[in-house]
Structure 1
Amino acid sequence: MDAYSGYNQIFMHPEDQAHTSFITDRGLYCYKVMPFGLKNAGATYQRLVNHLFAPLIGNTMEVYVDDMLVKSRTADQHIPNLSAMFTILKQYKMRLNPTKCAFGVASGKFLGFMISQRGIEANPEKIQAILDMTIPKTVKDIQSLTGRVAALTRFISKATDRCAPFFKALKGTKRNITWTAECETAFSELKEYMGRAPLLSTPEHGDILVVYLSVSASAVSSVLIRSKDNAEHPVHYVSKALQDAEVRYPDIEKLAFSLVVSARRLRPYFQAHTIHVLTNQPLRQVLQKPETSGRLVKWAIELGEFDIHYKPRPVMRGQAVADFLSEFTESQASAATQHITEPNPPLSQDQTPTKNTLDLTQPLWTLFVDGSSNAQGCGAGLVLVSPDKVALEYALRFNFQASNNEAEYEALLAGLRLAKEMDARQIQIFRDSQLVVHQVNQDFTAKDASMTAYLQHTRHLLATFHAHTIKQVPRSENSHADALARLASALEQGMGRHIHIEFLAQPSTQAPLICTIDHSPTWMDPILQFLQNQTLPANPAEARRVRHRSARYLIINGSLYKRGFSLPYLRCLTPEEGHYVLREIHEGICDPASKRLAPRQPRLLPCRRKTHFRGARHLLKLSAAKPNLQDTCRHHNGLHKVPHWNFVQSSHFHFPINKEQYLGKTKNHSPTFTVTLPELLLVTDLGIGERSAGTTPVSEA
């Protein structure tokens, strides 16, 4: 059904009628009803019909501007549904155009498409217009062809790829076109495809929709699928040409961009249904890994509001997804393997790490290690060189006594832990210890219990790398690491140093003490469960909120971090950790700088505070049993950085510039001012626990 002069049935507000005035040869006129051509006319009319037919829309009626459709599952229900619609029309005195109305039909045209019980079909007139076209001979003919295809793009699988030869032909001169054999083949295949245009299905409430993605050199495509009766029915096809910088995206980013384009084009479907993205590529890991670019972070946040699940591709069946058998075209498949890499899979516990299997085409890290044990102490030194030839120096001092071989193993374990933290996948190790090298390479056996434990820990760490090699080199070629090891072992406590030296409290083979800690539930638990196990709360509203918030968080080494606007990542703390940080700020390692950090303390509290004064009061209540913390806060309360002066100040100096003014002011306040002047000290902010240096810029002369 179609409304009769729909816009003209809405009266203009009397104050706005003057704004619609126009001049004719007979005088000045204005509109009393809403005319066609106003910028907000369509939106205004849509709001009107949504308000009028609110009880029926979505159940027995669909309305788009002035086009109305009454639907019924059976013929017996159709008369009551029409009666309810006409009752509303009569109540609000809305008129219909009888020449454009059809009642009691099994199928009909709505918004340019054929709607029936089977689904949504393309307009036969538009399909016939493409089938009747002859070979284009001018630029205008090609533009007419691409325009007709654009009107039916939701029915055409990979429409942009099918029209790519036509776009190339348009790049020539405007007068002459180059119609190649590729264009002829594409034109024939397009006609053949439109002769059997697919029937689009309509999803129902509660359906789980499936998305298949595809990437080519010049376009990204996708298809939304609905499964019914063990068959896959297409809901909507999406295709977009890559422009400018989008062509230079890595292939994994193009795949993510294809999903983003689908979510933007099919937003109503993504909001109302659960979406399963079937892909064999690590798309979810790429969108959540910490080293993603800002573009991927933005896309991850944009996709976070939808209920999207990533699953591997099963065996594909059906003609609807025939063009999406491969996610990358043949030209893209080889390049995709260079950009898409799965996370580093660890080997099994009983599997022996391989050696001499380095892939020179992949980044290679180099590690030089050495240990030292003498009468002054034990230490280790290592130098880790990245593929970009950036050297990382590391020295380690042991707070326990170790033999020379144990020190060599500790040095190797420290180097492997550092390489693992740097996400190294391939590593070659050089050291001058013959025993350690041959034991790791399984040329020697470890007979001592201590050596056996160290060897097991070493093999366990080596199993986390894709490939590794370990070789013995002369001490002259390992002098850098040897010098660091000797520096760490000979260093006395409290000596100044330029190289940072870390202290190892206990041997690496000693099992850590494991205690059971009872943590109360925190706000981070739902986000961690979703990021780790894809588990959501049972409440749909809460699940939607967690899914949307989780896009701004990621997990690094088991800890939750929030993506900052400017990066780096912000560590998320539990209430217990937050209270520990507050104690360190006021009476711990941050004590000298506590005045500067105190205004920031409300950010660490379990709940937000509007001002830092409220946060300080909250902290004092929490620390009722901590007198040291209260004394610290009271000491900082009211502390001024600038001293008070009893005489006039200038704009730049504490003392007056005029000598006469200086004498006049001092006589009124202190007759012995010149005597007490050396006792005046500049008040400086030394922090708690610091002592004055005993000097002052004020001299007695």
Structure 2
Amino acid sequence: MVENLFGDLYWNGVLVYLDDILIHAATLEEVFAKLEEVLKRLRASGLKLRLSKCSFLPEQVEYLGHTITEGRIAPQPRKVEAIDALQPPRDIKGLRQALGMAGYYRNFIPNYAEVTQPLTKLMRRTEPYAWGKEQQQAFDAVKEGLKDAALCNDYASGELVIETDASDYAVAGILSCKKDGMETPVEYMSRTLSEVEVRWPTREKEAYAIVVALQKFDAYVRGRRTTVYTDHKSLEWMFQAKKGKIARWATLLQKYDLDIVHKNETQIAHVDALSRLARDAVTVEDRMTCMAVMAVAEEEGLPQVTE
């Protein structure tokens, strides 16, 4: 009911999850205007707020497992501590729960797909469940990667930059915000290629990496000038293609304001590493599924990262 009440304000300064309402804006005037509108709608619908549960103009906000401060968003320390305390799973069910917990924060971990590859391959029922040194190292790497994980949430101003790369089996990208000559990561992505896609020539894989990255980062980049760096020089002329998949993708991407720039492999080595040997994908639906898994785990008394 609460979500329906603020449907037209959703992602426009008002975020709602169940009975948690988060209001944000660039200026105090906007905050007060949105707050007034929210209170009006609550009053009109007969809903009440408990004052002791409200917080106004805080320097730090805890929301959906995240700690939000000025210019920064990070996993809540208590969630990270709970994940760090997890013991090695004894079976596929336990592994699935552990990956569900850690996977909720996968956008904070560069190369998450490759890091967890030794773990995800245990999910295949065609192979026996055997926890070894490789799995333990991956398990520890995920825990370590979350300890100091943080991303930029101050991307309203500054230049948006996307760096993409494709390997034989995956595509990857990083969205950053550039201010005063410094680039700060906003979000990471990586996606495995299908059996058909792995047979595409390098030119098409590199073009596809741009397509996937822009679809993933659409909410950030639509309507804003964005620089896309790729290590495949031929893609500088991507929008001049007259036929084939690259031409169709170029048509699809006409809605974006892009500047595609070539960088050599050494200049984007950090992105190149993201795509190597990646074996799984992340979508908005994946993240929502992880949230649902955590909610169900709490209801059923399963191990989870919530209090």
TM class, shorter-length: 0.7 to 0.9
1:159 and 2:112 are equivalent in the alignment: yes
| Residue equivalent to 1:88 | 40
Of the three residues 134, 138, 146, the one matched with 1:182 is 134
Residues 362-441 of structure 1 aligned to structure 2 (within 5 Å) = none
| Secondary structure of 1:244's aligned partner | coil
2:255 paired with 1:302: no
CA-to-aligned-CA distance 1:306-348 (integer Å, 9 cap, x gap): 011111338989xxx7732668759xxxxxxxxxxxxxxxxxx
Tell me, yes or no, if the aligned pair for 1:157 and 1:237 is still in contact at 8 Å. Answer: yes
Q: Quick one: structure 1 residues 92 and 184, their matched pair in 2 at CA, closer, same or farther if it must change by over 3 Å?
A: same
| Matched residue type, 2:240 | Q
Quote how far apart the aligned CAs of 1:133 are: 1.6
Q: Which amino acid aligns with 1:312?
A: H
How far off is 1:84 after superposition?
3.1
CA displacement at 1:209 relative to structure 2: 0.6
Equivalence for 1:194: 146
User: Structure 1 residues 114 and 307, CA, compared in 2 at 3 Å: closer, same or farther?
Assistant: same
Once the 2 structures are TM-superposed, how far is the Cα of residue 91 of structure 1 from its aligned partner?
6.2
Per the TM alignment, residue 82 of structure 1 is displaced from its structure 2 partner at its CA by 7.8
| CA shift for structure 1 position 280 | 2.9
Q: Which amino acid aligns with 1:289?
A: A
**Other structure's SS at 2:256 match:** coil
Equivalent residue, structure 1, for 2:85: 132
The one-character-per-residue Cα deviations of 1:99-140 (angstroms, maximum 9, x if unpaired) are 643234211123443221132222334323321122222111
Query: Aligned match of 2:167 in 213, 216, 240?
Result: 216
CA distance in 1, matches of 2:248, 2:241: 13
Amino acid at match of 1:152: Y
Q: CA deviation at 1:197?
A: 0.8
**Contact 2:111/2:275 (<8 A) preserved:** no
CA distance 1:252–1:185, shift in 2 (3 Å): farther
* Structure 1 length-normalised TM: 0.35
The answer to whether the 8 Å contact 1:222/1:237 transfers is yes
3-state SS of the aligned residue for 1:63?
Answer: strand
For the residues of structure 2 that align with 1:262 and 1:45, how far apart are their CA atoms?
32
Q: Which residue type is aligned with residue 105 of structure 2?
A: L
In structure 2, the partner of 1:260 is 211
Say whether 1:313 aligns with 2:263.
yes
Q: What is the DSSP-based 3-state SS (H/G/I as helix, E as strand, rest coil) of the residue aligned with 1:272? A: coil
| In structure 2, distance between residues paired with 1:100 and 1:250 | 56
Partner in structure 1 of residue 288 of structure 2:
none
Residue 157 (structure 1) shift? 1.3
Three-state SS of the structure 2 residue aligned to 1:169 is helix
Which of residues 127, 145, 159 is equivalent to 2:98? 145
Identity %: 23
Secondary structure at 2:138 match in 1: helix
Change (3 A) 1:135 1:299: same
DSSP 3-state at the match of 2:87: coil
Structure whose residues are more often helix by fraction: 2
CA-CA distance at 1:151 after TM superposition: 0.9
CA change 1:325–1:62 in 2 (3 A) is same
Per the TM alignment, residue 261 of structure 1 is displaced from its structure 2 partner at its CA by: 1.4
- Equivalent residues of 2:172, 2:275 under 8 A apart: no
Query: Equivalent residue of 2:196, what SS?
Result: helix
- 1:103 is aligned to 56
Shift of residue 265, structure 1, vs aligned partner: 1.7
- Does 1:204 find its partner at 2:151? no
Secondary structure of the equivalent of 1:221?
strand
Could you tell me how far 1:222 is from its partner in structure 2?
0.7
One-letter code aligned to 2:99: T
1:210 and 1:224 in contact (8 A); partners too: yes
- C-alpha contact 1:108 1:115 (8 A) present in aligned 2: yes
Report the CA distance between 1:79 and its aligned residue: 9.2
Deviation at 1:223, TM superposition (A): 0.8
Q: Does the 8 Å CA contact 1:238/1:262 hold for their aligned counterparts?
A: yes
Is the contact between residue 230 and residue 263 of structure 2 (CA under 8 Å) also seen in structure 1?
yes
Unmatched runs of 5 consecutive residues or more in structure 1:
1-5, 8-41, 331-701
For residues 171 and 83 of structure 1, the distance between their equivalents in structure 2, rounded to whole angstroms, comes to 49
CA pair 287-170 structure 1, distance change in 2 beyond 3 A:
farther
In structure 2, do the counterparts of structure 1 residues 328 and 145 end up closer, same or farther at CA, with 3 Å as the change threshold? closer
Indicate how the Cα distance of structure 1 residues 204 and 94 shifts in structure 2: closer, same or farther if over 3 A, else same.
farther
1:278 to 213, 221, 229: 229
CA contact (8 A) 1:213 1:327 kept: no
- Shift of residue 224, structure 1, vs aligned partner: 0.3
8 Å Cα contact 2:72-2:150 kept in structure 1: no
Q: Which amino acid aligns with 1:113?
A: H
Unaligned ranges ≥5, structure 2: 278-307
Structure 1 residue 279: Cα displacement: 1.9
Letter in 1 for 2:231: N
Pick 1 or 2: higher relative contact order, CA cutoff 8 A, min separation 6.
2
Q: Find the aligned partners of 1:134 and 1:87 in 2 and give their Cα distance.
A: 45
